[in-house]
Structure 1
């Protein structure tokens, strides 16, 4: 008895297996041999092709469908495999210095003339300025300055004709000093970055450049350091005197450095503060207590109070990133103060006898040169700023710029460059890479669409099968429930629920799950009607009547006999519904009720670009997400339409 039951269960369990085997691979050899014997008198024997094979043959004969399928597969691979290789990607990544950068890969494109004769290189934002030993100035990178209409690469003629001694670059301006002491500036000067005017003098938000420097120049031989920050510039003299000017909004403590008689060993700019080392060399001066008031031996280590940490040593120089500073001490060791973002690469532990002789800083990283000619980078590594190539060693000078570093030998030849080359699709309003967010956003949009389709298909198939097969009161009740759901205005209801969620203290991940559930719950009526109609057509078929006569349970007839025969129609519908759910998610996110920032989706990327300034000036922020969404949904629809045609040739002919 048990043996018979086991055999029966085995046959039942393999029913779907036999169905799919014949659907895709045709009938067995025994059936083919029987047909061949029956057709002995025929001149030729017609090849037996399974329905699945015939569908595939017909589908791949359609070039447009094949092309669309290839595009869909490529998109799936990119959005699902891409995040696995984007090790440094973070949804919450922002960069004030990299806002609204256009597409391009030229941030490390050092001009050939300069590459063999480098004196200095500097950068704070999206463009770099270089100076050759012959006194010629070069500018490269993304040189257009926001929506000001100005271009940092438009070097003034008087600068081209002069022999320049030193240069520095801020976020939107460049300042150069000639060997004759004259100070030049170009780029954006609206916040007093360079030059003098009555408007600057009367504006309380601007610390104007000293008139004496502007009119008479400066003795170059007495300059210790020329440095620029966000919208600010400083000149430190050998005697410790500091000249500083620029935007007070960018650096609220700028007035603390304009006190008469205050002397400094070194100065620098973080993103929000001017920092300096007083002549005593025992602290980081900002003019406010508590800022950079704790020192640590390495990035991320437990800090100590300056006196306890220094133990008689003095600070000789300071280099600043956006959020922390590196201090070079009198015993040639280094230490750090400030905040350390997650993922920061620690400074290396140098072997005995090796120490740093030079340290330079970018927006988030440091590059150091040791007494043995070795080059090390540490700090932020989002754009591989801390991955030093082997050919960088043997340098005599190093330059750490915004998100790049350069090593140069004694003759001025550029040995190596590493860091950020640029952005394939530009950056958004927050300085995040649009290309990376499109990949991560595509994964989010497609996942939400897929999960919503799975939920709606499970509900729709079950209700459609039950309603169509059993009919009667079951059909009436289920169809009334379906009509209730169909009567709900989809988009307004989804917007209302999403708006309600914004008032709840739920995580962004939970909100995404709820969006999937809402889309699935509200999308099932269409597929339920389709399945019900197909079941009504199929339930009077001979094989169904035969199964009923054999006493097969009604539920098994509905789900094991009828459902496999209408699966092709369901697959087509699910394909089309997938594209629809992607569009609905994008619509919700575009209207501000979908996936919340900072998690990306194609919809909320478009939502972040829905103002006239971005549409007009920063086209890449909306064009690329729109293209990705459009191509994906159109190609999915093309695949679905062609699947429907090849699975239902009669309907295709009627068209």
Structure 2
């Protein structure tokens, strides 16, 4: 008899475990399931059957993993601001060269959030984030320019010259950077045109420099060097010049870090500027960098056999005598990492500006590297919105998860005690819970 009772007891324990943990063969009716299966199993089954709940859980897990992993991979500088990247719209078209231009590129010039290309047949193309304001778009190219031979992109405007030596400018002209001076309309020996931050300039064959636009910021001052300049470089604060005899000179009256040019450099053949530094290539192929040397900008001084150099916002790109291309400096957007494809191709010219680079091959095609754009755009301080959301979301999601865990723990304990003892204890605990629920949430959340 005792053996038989033991068997029944084992069967009842097995069936109870099966009900609790899901092992059953018999299909139970709805009422039987409600009576016999465990509460946790009922909750899980109903949750899994709810497609909206499952989709929400999946999305939550993806977001939670994203805000945990993204900040670990992409570090953020909380003090970062970039005036040239303010209020950029979402998208990845900053390096998207028009198909009609690829294979027919004569030259490229780079603006703050857009680029301008010139084809071999004199046509101008604009791509990237070209809308400067709600009403100004540099894609609105003048249609009466004729055969264009030179282009220069500034922060928010474009300067162009046709084969007759006529100058055209469009874009933002609030500081008269698009207003061609009258004394330039009679000049026919323009060698090179330049655009910068709210300013424009030209250098003539006889070494004359004409500068117009926001002269207040630049405080342009050529002094005794007028008639001696071979080329210039412009950034957001000043102008650097290279004389015909290879001397690097500052063309800014203000005392700036990059205007203190080192002595004993020798004869220079090329110059460039970033936002905070100046650089020069000497005739023996050495690179000199001066100014606020941050973000690995000094590494260029170890290079040899350099023949040309160009500067972006915080990086430099140089061409070596053997045709190789090298970049160094800030690399937050990959602008200082030259693709291997570049040095495996025959490169005829390299163009660098702000956060983009274009290496043009012998067949007129461009290989690009650098900033393509922003998934969610930037804010009014030029900060990447996605990065800030992900870094802020890590703290928000962590606090939210901890709060939920604490509330679930308290709820289980209070509910368990209330259900187990019942009576007055149940009534007291439920009234306390109702009082807590009645309190307004927002003031406590703000506190």
| TM-score, structure 2 normalization | 0.81
Equivalences for 1:190-589 in 2 at 5 Å? 190-195=174-179, 209-213=180-184, 215-220=185-190, 223=191, 225-251=192-218, 253-254=219-220, 256-257=221-222, 261=226, 263-278=228-243, 281-285=246-250, 286-289=252-255, 291-292=257-258, 306-307=262-263, 310=265, 313-342=266-295, 346-347=299-300, 349-350=302-303, 355-393=305-343, 394-414=346-366, 416-450=367-401, 461=410, 535-540=417-422
- Partner SS state of residue 337, structure 1: strand
Structure 1 residue 116 displacement after superposition: 0.7
Q: Larger helix proportion, structure 1 or 2?
A: 1
Structure 1 residue 450 displacement after superposition: 4.1
- Partner SS state of residue 64, structure 2: helix
Please report the RMSD computed on the Cα atoms of aligned residues, expressed in angstroms: 3.5
| Contact residue 397 and residue 409 of structure 1 kept, 8 A | yes
Structure 1 residue 44 displacement after superposition: 5.4
Q: 1:405 to 1:177 in 2, by over 3 A?
A: same
Q: 1:584 to 1:107 in 2, by over 3 A?
A: farther
- Measured in 2, the distance between the counterparts of 1:453 and 1:52 equals 18
- Measured in 2, the distance between the counterparts of 1:440 and 1:105 equals 21
Higher mean C-alpha deviation, range 174-183 or range 271-280: 271-280
Instruction: String of CA shifts for 1:316-336, please: whole Å, max 9, x gaps.
Output: 321111121221112111111
Aligned residues: 412
Which runs of 5 or more structure 1 residues have no equivalent in the other structure?
Answer: 1-27, 37-42, 196-208, 296-305, 462-526, 545-561, 571-575, 589-655
Q: 1:348 to 1:112 in 2, by over 3 A?
A: farther
Structure 1 residue 444 displacement after superposition: 2.6
Q: Larger strand proportion, structure 1 or 2?
A: 2
- Partner SS state of residue 245, structure 1: strand
| Contact residue 297 and residue 330 of structure 2 kept, 8 A | yes
| TM-score, structure 1 normalization | 0.57
- Measured in 2, the distance between the counterparts of 1:78 and 1:241 equals 56
